Amino acid sequence: MTTIVLATTYEVEDCLHCGFLFGLPEGFVRRRRRDHKSFYCPSCQGGMRYSAKSDIELVREKLRRKTECCDFYTKRTATLVGEVEHERAVARGYKGLAVKRQKALQAAKGENGATHES
């Protein structure tokens, strides 16, 4: 005599239509939670399905949100870098203008200084 021992885990489900309790293999439940396909009550043949988001869908959604957030901050960083470059260019312009005016002022003082010193 040969004895075969099978270990299968079942999840107990209760029918939405008639309340009948029945077991479903956990692999079947996992697949139905992910693909949202219908299955039927063995007693009343009422259709049922898992409509809640699966673990994979939740992870994909979280990844999508994180990617959008990362994209936003990447674009924002590029914008800020551009603004900083612009402000640096403006500062260089003012610095050049200040040097130019200082030279003009020194030239004017030199002419005036020459008259004052002499």
For Zn ion, the binding residues (CB under 5 A) are 15, 17-18, 20, 41, 43-44, 46
Q: Which of 28, 36, 31, 34 is nearest to 11 (CA)?
A: 28
CB-nearer residue toward Zn ion: 17 or 53: 17
Q: Which one, 48 or 53, has the nearer CB to Zn ion? A: 48
Secondary structure of residue 25 in the 3-state scheme: strand
What is the rounded end-to-end Cα distance, in angstroms, of the chain? 130
Report the residue number, 46 or 93, with the smaller CB distance to Zn ion: 46
**26's tokens:** 């956990």
Chain-centroid distance of CA 117 in Å reads 71
Q: How far is the CB of 21 from Zn ion (least distance, A)?
A: 10
CB of 7: closest distance to Zn ion in angstroms? 27
Least distance (Å) between residue 36 CB and Zn ion: 19
